[in-house]
Structure formats: C-alpha cells, structure tokens
Structure 1
Amino acid sequence: MKYFFQLLALVLFVGFGTACGSTGEAATESDSQTEEQAGDESFGAEFTPEAVIAYQDLSAKVTDTDSMAITVRGKVSEVCQSKGCWMSITNGDGEDMMVRFKDYGFFMPKDIAGREVIMNGKAFYQTTPVDELRHYAEDAGKSQEEIDAITEPKRELSFLADGVILVKE
C-alpha cells in the first residue's frame, strides 16, 4: 500500500508539471496559438481560399436543382445562440442564407454577427419545413410572437460548410 501512494504522488507530480507547460512542446503550442490569434481564425477543415465569390453573386451560380462545391465570402447576420451550431449570412437586402456545419464537426463563436467569414463547402437550394424554421428562430433568440408567425415552409439557398475562416477585423 505504501508503494501505491508513492507511485500515485509521482504520477500526479509529473502530470502536473507537464500540464503547466514546463516542457518545450507546450511552449511551442502556446507560440502557435499567439500567431493564429494575430491573423484570421479557422474552424473546421482547413482550406486555402481560392476563387472566392461574394455571397451576393452566389444565387446566380447555383441552379435550383444542383449543389455546388464553392468558397463564399459573406457577412454574418446571426449565429445560433444555443451552441453556435449554425449561422446566417446576409447580402444586406434581407436575403439571408442558412449555413450549417458538416457533421456538426465544429461550432462558431456566438458573438460574430457583423463579421466577415470565408466558407468552403456546398451551396444548394432546399425547402426548410416550418418546425425547423421555428427551431432556428428559437435558437436565434426570437420572441414567441416571431416564432408563432412562421407558418409556411421556405425555399432558400443554403450552405453546408466543411471549413470557415473568421476574417480578422
């Protein structure tokens, strides 16, 4: 029993020292976090933004029956206030596009409304049922009156993102 407590104390001591960043590896990790914070923030799968189109130009590229792999830049209008599990992108004229994240593999910060993002994934048209629209309205913090006013399904341009870059302000 005496050796058990000595072994436990040793394991805790070594584990505590490693967790506190006493190794060179932890310092390197910290340095890379500082570099990342200085630039754009990335979520989900990493990608290089090439051939990026503005959200305003997206509807002209995606037909009503196709889905299209594409990289899009737009301004966030709202984010799920429950978990950050979806966001809406706006064109400024009241036309918002729902963006979900592939396999719920990542979430976005809840406080990024008004920020620019670059998203990589698939754009497509879909009809969103009333119960799902109400669920999104609830997640966005809408009033019960606004939620109850949703009575029709909505045909809309949607996006399934596998990676998102939050552009530095």
Structure 2
Amino acid sequence: MSYFRLLIICVLVLISCKNKSEETTKQDSQTPVVTYTSFGKEIIADDAISSKSMAQHYQTMQVGDSINSKMIAKVTDVCQAKGCWMTLNLQGDEEVMVKFKDYGFFVPKDISGKDVIVNGKAFVSEISVEEQQHYAKDAGKTEEEIALITEPKKTLSFEADGVLVLQ
C-alpha cells in the first residue's frame, strides 16, 4: 500500500513539473527577444539613458567638459569609408558625433536608422573646418556641400568604448 502511495505522489510531482515548464515556455514565447550585435568592449544594455536625457546633459556642458555615460539613440549617419564614426540623433535636429576609442573598432556602414547603445565618454568639443570637411567627404557629400563648410563648429561628441546595434 505504501508503494502505491509513493507511486501516486511521484506521478503527481512529475505532472506538476511538466505543466509549469509548459507555462514558462508559453510566457517566454510571448516576450519579444531583443538581440544586439556587439562592437568594441563588451557591454550590456542595462542602465542606458535615452537620447533626450543625454541632450539635457549636453546642454549644461561647456567645451572641455566630459562625463561617463551609456545612452541609446538612433543612428543618423555612418562613415562610408570604414565605419570609423557615426552620428546619433539626440532630440529634434541635435546630433552627437561618435568616434571609437583608440580607433580600436568600427561599426557596419549600413546601420543608419537603427537604434544603438553606446558606452563611453560624452564631451563637448570644437571641430575645425578641415576635420568637418573630412567627415563630409567620408559621408559621401558632394564637393559643393563640402565647400560650404567655412567655420569651426561646437560639437557634441562621444568616445565609445563599446557599441550594441539593435538587430
């Protein structure tokens, strides 16, 4: 009789475990899976601030100021020569120029319009006319567009040590 009770208990335990795993699978299948492709230093997506929040930080910064940060934003442009820089939309028509630490990695040239998470150092700099023209050439701008660049420009910059590209 005790073997019979033990057998019934074991069957009930197995059945209850099976039902739980099926429920977990169903619940997991309803949650969308977010995948990223990683470049540079391996980073995680947690704790990234929005581009709008980052824009507010930049408003309080002067040339030479810097802060460590991780933000999520949409790519507006990428270096078409090598993928050695990109620009991200912050808010409205405000953009931030992202370069990669120690020129140590590049991003794909076809990620314009994708969301990315960048980790590194945000700062404000002034970019010379020559450097602006170089970036315009890398971006595939026409000679006429490049010739219109005639003054140094205060630029919101970011040196990324790691990038996640949303797939």
What range describes the TM-score normalised by the shorter chain of this pair?
Answer: 0.7 to 0.9
Paired AA for residue 75 in structure 2: V
Q: TM-score, normalised by structure 2?
A: 0.75
- Which residue of the partner structure matches residue 13 of structure 2? none
With over 3 angstroms needed to count, the CA separation of the structure-2 counterparts of 1:50 and 1:66, relative to structure 1, is farther
How much has 1:39 moved relative to structure 2? 2.5
Instruction: Determine which of 37, 57, 67 is the counterpart of 1:41.
Output: 37
Instruction: Note the 1:18-167 alignment, pairs <5 A.
Output: 39-62=35-58, 63-64=61-62, 65-91=64-90, 93-167=92-166
Q: Deviations over 1:115-146 (max 9, x none)?
A: 00000000000000000000000000001111
Higher CA-based Rg = 2
Q: Could you list the runs of 5+ residues in structure 1 that have no partner in the other structure?
A: 1-37
Could you tell me how far apart the structure 1 residues matched to 2:39 and 2:93 are? Answer: 26
Could you tell me how far apart the structure 1 residues matched to 2:91 and 2:148 are? Answer: 23
Could you tell me how far apart the structure 1 residues matched to 2:42 and 2:55 are? Answer: 25
Structure 1 runs (4+) greater than 4 angstroms displaced:
none
Could you tell me how far apart the structure 1 residues matched to 2:45 and 2:36 are? Answer: 12
Q: TM-score, normalised by structure 1?
A: 0.74
Could you tell me how far apart the structure 2 residues matched to 1:92 and 1:161 are? Answer: 19
- Which residue of the partner structure matches residue 7 of structure 1? none
Q: SS in structure 2 opposite 1:164?
A: strand
Say what the alpha-carbon RMSD is for the aligned residues: 1.4
Report % sequence identity: 48
